[in-house]
Amino acid sequence: MRNIVLGNEAVAQGAIDAGISGVYAYPGTPSTEITEYIQRKKDEKYLDIHANWSANEKTAMEAALGMSYSGKRAMAVMKHVGLNVAMDAFMNMAIAGVNGGLVVVVADDPSMHSSQNEQDSRYLANFARIPIVEPSNQQEAYDMIRHAFNLSEQLQLPVLLRLVTRLSHSRSLVTFNKPRKQKKINFLEDIKRFQLIPARAKPQYDKLIKKQKRIRTFSEESPFNKLVISKDTSLGIIASGIAYNYLMENFQEGCRYSCLKVSQYLLPRKQIKYLFDHCEKILVLEEGYPFIEEQLADFFEEDHKVIGRLTGHLNRTGELNPSMVAKALGIKKKKTNKIPDFVTGRPPQLCDGCGHRDTFNALDEIRKIIGDKQIFGDIGCYALGALAPHHTISTLIDMGASITMAKGAADAGVHPAIAIIGDSTFTHSGMTGLLDCINDKSPITLIISDNSAVAMTGGQNSAALAKLKNICLGLGVDPEHLKMIEPLPKNHEENVAIIQKELDYKGVSVIIAQRACVRLPGERKKMIKEILAAQN
């Protein structure tokens, strides 16, 4: 039977059928639907799989490792920039190795549809010296997650499965296989390799380096790396992941050139050697950074045998598409219509009635006095405060940076220094920064714009729900300078006055602006109200 699924859902169903016991994740476009799908199926089919959201990607990665250490299969899921947050665990679990299969699924966002950069996770997996699998379509996404778990168990290493936006968020038909049973708790007899004191870490690292040869051999023997040789020797093509589709789109009747489809790394040396010997030039097609191309291109730019993004045959940044690949192949371009000049951009904006709007309106009054350089923003819907009509926030860098950047500015002598962060982003990466501020008595005013949901990614449950006040007090915020406001138009003047008063205070003040996300269903808003009322 064929099933309609998103690329992300194919991975999720594939993981369920591969016998995972847990998925650990923090929401982030374009990765969110993987975990949501497993949560849905868990409820529908009473699956015994852990699927609750984690506070951030690092806690997710470590919990996944703990499950793997216990002998069961676990999956950690995140967007590309989330992997930066989890990097400490990621690097070191490559050294320690795994027990039950552990696959890290990372969805990259080339062209930055919903992200602040387009970093390519293949570099980070390579940095950790672990294998990568990279599906090119929805069926492969389903099939390859099980393959990745098998690889992980054979090599006793974590494996990275890389997705990109256009696969994550594209629907197609997928055939499912028979589900496999979950594993039972089964500790390793010798657990020393999980104790990364230098004396144990050194031999483990040597072991990891020795494993590289096997990782390469597995790639060379992988059914997902396919070399097709053609008589035409003028050009050979290496196409990885979704870029393979853009190639084949231009050759519906079969590719006229020799082609290596890469969906598993380390790069298969044998096949690439054959292609290099057989062809005069090598065109590399890959989504994201020139990861393969950089490994193969000549450093001294002498033979120009390898062409791709680095040589200008393809766009250096941003996503590929079939038309760009056609151009690189020298296929004549069709004449196309132009977009009329009068068509204007339509950037996203905050919803009507959104509480962030009211908080921004209050801050805009302050901005009239202090100027537009001292409000440090963060990641979430309220990032839209950088755009019209508000232009409220001055900076937006990474999860949690609002608080710590405001601190650094305050340390530099800037006053007032205002940070604005959402509830879920605060518990993701803001709490430690606030602790720094408190210990250092940094004069900042922190506004937690609390909509009690992870709203930007679709309103998932926030780890911060009804905990913000106690967290702040527990970290040491002076109760006199912990204020609660309700961001509503009718409270505008009162809210401006409260913020203004706290700006005069030369220490840490926190203002929690609480109003549930307008997009949440009525029932959930009611529940949030009740939970918050019980807390106060």
Binding site for another protein (CB under 8 A): 2, 4, 29-30, 32-33, 113-114, 166-167, 169-173, 242, 245-246, 248-249, 252, 321-323, 326, 333-340, 342-351, 381, 384, 388, 456-458
From the CB of 121, what's the least distance to another protein, in Å? Answer: 18
**CB contact set of 45 (below 8 Å; sequence gap of 6+):** none
From the CB of 323, what's the least distance to another protein, in Å? Answer: 4
Question: What's CA 327's distance to the chain center, in Å?
Answer: 30
Per residue in 150-169, is it b (16+ CB within 10 Å) or e — as a string?
Answer: ebbbebbbbbbbbbbbbbbb
**Cα–Cα distance between 304 and 299 in angstroms, integer?**
10
From the CB of 349, what's the least distance to another protein, in Å? Answer: 5
- Please say which residue, 296 or 326, places its beta carbon nearer to another protein: 326
**CB contact set of 498 (below 8 Å; sequence gap of 6+):** 483, 485, 511
- Please say which residue, 74 or 455, places its beta carbon nearer to another protein: 455
- Please say which residue, 164 or 420, places its beta carbon nearer to another protein: 164
Residue 488 sits at φ, ψ, to 5 deg, of -135, 150
**Cα–Cα distance between 9 and 15 in angstroms, integer?**
10
From the CB of 143, what's the least distance to another protein, in Å? Answer: 16
What single string gives the DSSP state of each residue in 6-59?
EHHHHHHHHHHHTT-SEEEE---TTTHHHHHHHHHHHHHHT---B-PPPSSHHH
From the CB of 359, what's the least distance to another protein, in Å? Answer: 16
- Please say which residue, 299 or 342, places its beta carbon nearer to another protein: 342
- Please say which residue, 221 or 249, places its beta carbon nearer to another protein: 249
- Please say which residue, 22 or 385, places its beta carbon nearer to another protein: 385
Helix (H) or strand (E) holding 422: strand 417-422
The residue type of 53 is W
The residue type of 226 is K
- Please say which residue, 130 or 237, places its beta carbon nearer to another protein: 237
From the CB of 165, what's the least distance to another protein, in Å? Answer: 9
**CB contact set of 6 (below 8 Å; sequence gap of 6+):** 33, 138, 168, 169, 170, 171
- Please say which residue, 250 or 461, places its beta carbon nearer to another protein: 250
Cis preceding-peptide flag for 348 (omega within 30 of 0): no
- Please say which residue, 188 or 351, places its beta carbon nearer to another protein: 351
From the CB of 223, what's the least distance to another protein, in Å? Answer: 18
Listed residue (265, 279, 268) closest to 155, CA to CA: 265
Task: Tell me if residue 161 falls in helix, strand or coil.
Answer: strand
Report yes or no: 90 and 61 within 8 Å, Cβ to Cβ.
yes
From the CB of 136, what's the least distance to another protein, in Å? Answer: 9
From the CB of 4, what's the least distance to another protein, in Å? Answer: 5
What single string gives the DSSP state of each residue in 272-298?
HHHHHHH-SEEEEE-SSS-HHHHHHS-
From the CB of 500, what's the least distance to another protein, in Å? Answer: 29
From the CB of 423, what's the least distance to another protein, in Å? Answer: 18
- Please say which residue, 388 or 533, places its beta carbon nearer to another protein: 388
Helices (H), 319-397: 322-328, 355-370
Helix (H) or strand (E) holding 411: helix 401-411
**Cα–Cα distance between 431 and 400 in angstroms, integer?**
8
- Please say which residue, 349 or 500, places its beta carbon nearer to another protein: 349
**Cα–Cα distance between 235 and 96 in angstroms, integer?**
42
Report yes or no: 156 and 218 within 8 Å, Cβ to Cβ.
no
